[in-house]
Structure 1
């Protein structure tokens, strides 16, 4: 089992380069960063995590800029999104961003994706929340075409372009892993059709996780990798996830200044030490 960190990098906490170095020095395998382009002031959509939206949601850096800084400061750390809001991103631009990150990192990029929860945020990007799952599907399929074809084209209801050249191509073959976030009733459909792994948030639809993982792998006809993010750094949680068949655990890291972050990472590193 691998261990990584999932967090929000903001203008008020530890910087991405320093965080990346600290993780690699302590033996962590990966860093996954959340994304919110903005938070609408209206706050009409309730946050699934509780009543009060944490401050770091409002202040996130662009994940691909931050992950590039972390990649440049490390040699082995995998750098991923947890999650990228694909329904708020142009697929041609997204394909280039991820491929560029994969190139400059030497093949360490991971694309964790989801459809998001903040309906006002989606609407500000011109996305209709009612059709966001269909939009997500087409954009991911289009990105994969752009990554893998010299002359890529896509024709769908929401994404439509004639043959194009799109470079760079990713270093990883056939492309960086696409991890599907969420745990709703149709999540496994997306994992089976266009995902390379499943990445649920611990505690949100992850009850009876061993049975759900077994169901997913049976449906897919392959051993789908499972990454759980937002996990508390506790030995009992790690043991349960290992027994459930989870491949990687991402511990949730609060957004704090450098010194406080390093103290917290030292404590978590004791948990993952051989």
Structure 2
């Protein structure tokens, strides 16, 4: 198991390049960035975290641009979207953006995707919230086809394009791994259908995830997919939570890094790094 961070990069916090360098210097594995294109000023959809929506949600930088900046100044850091709201994005453009970041990073990019929660935000993009799960499936499948075929075409209910050429292709083969976010009951079926791994949120204790991770491992082996990766995100930067999450059979543990100015962020990263395996006083076991 490896440890990285997930966060929101905004105009009010540390820059992506500075953060990428700081993570690599401290031995952290990865950087995953959240996104929202915007937040409608009049919103009926409640914030899943409860209370008022934090301002970082409407001040996020584009994750593909920010991750390119982080990748350009690092050599080992894995960079990924956590998550990209694919139901609000054009799949032909995402195929190009993701493959471009994979090229810039020399094969260190992971595409985490999800269907989102803010219905007003989706509608502003022309997305019907009631069909967003089916839309997500077709967009992932179409993107993979663009990545892997010289002349790609796709004909579905929501995504439809005639044969096209699109480069660059990803460095990774057969393509950039696509992790599916979400914790709803059917999510493992979706992962097995069109994903390459699962990207659940930390629920506060290992219990809700342990059985489902075991089920995913079993299904992967049974269906010839091998070990299906699990990246767990949103773990608070506290020793107790990190230690509990580390007991799960996961591939990456992503600590939730608050959005703060540079100096405060670096101090927080020092605290997180002190919990890594091998660190003096570290509590995490790999």
User: TM-score scaled to structure 1, two decimals?
Assistant: 0.97
What's the counterpart of residue 264 of structure 1? 268
What's the counterpart of residue 191 of structure 1? 191
What's the counterpart of residue 114 of structure 2? 114
State how 1:10-89 maps to structure 2 within 5 Å: 10-89=10-89
Q: Deviations over 1:202-245 (max 9, x none)?
A: 11897432111011222233321111001023343333333320
CA contact (8 A) 1:103 1:171 kept: yes
Unaligned runs of 5+ in 2: 279-286
CA contact (8 A) 2:68 2:104 kept: yes
RMSD: 1.3
Q: Which residue among 238, 246, 252 is the counterpart of 2:250?
A: 246
What's the counterpart of residue 124 of structure 2? 124
Farther off after superposition, 202-211 or 171-180 = 202-211
Q: Deviations over 1:168-221 (max 9, x none)?
A: 000001111111101101111110011111111111897432111011222233
Deviation at 1:162, TM superposition (A): 1.3
CA contact (8 A) 2:154 2:160 kept: yes
Alpha-carbon distance in 2 for matches of 1:73, 1:48? 34
Is 1:219 the counterpart of 2:219? The answer is: yes
Alpha-carbon distance in 2 for matches of 1:271, 1:151? 48
Farther off after superposition, 31-40 or 181-190 = 181-190
Deviation at 1:247, TM superposition (A): 1.2
Unaligned runs of 5+ in 1: none
Q: Deviations over 1:84-106 (max 9, x none)?
A: 00000000000000000000111
Is 1:8 the counterpart of 2:12? The answer is: no
CA contact (8 A) 2:18 2:70 kept: yes
Alpha-carbon distance in 2 for matches of 1:132, 1:242? 32
Alpha-carbon distance in 1 for matches of 2:258, 2:248? 26
Q: Which residue among 206, 220, 232 is the counterpart of 2:236?
A: 232
Alpha-carbon distance in 2 for matches of 1:268, 1:9? 18
CA contact (8 A) 1:200 1:206 kept: no
Aligned residues: 274
Q: CA 1:120/1:256 → structure 2, altered by over 3 Å: closer, same or farther?
A: same
What's the counterpart of residue 134 of structure 1? 134
Alpha-carbon distance in 1 for matches of 2:16, 2:127? 30
Alpha-carbon distance in 1 for matches of 2:77, 2:227? 23
CA contact (8 A) 2:205 2:245 kept: no
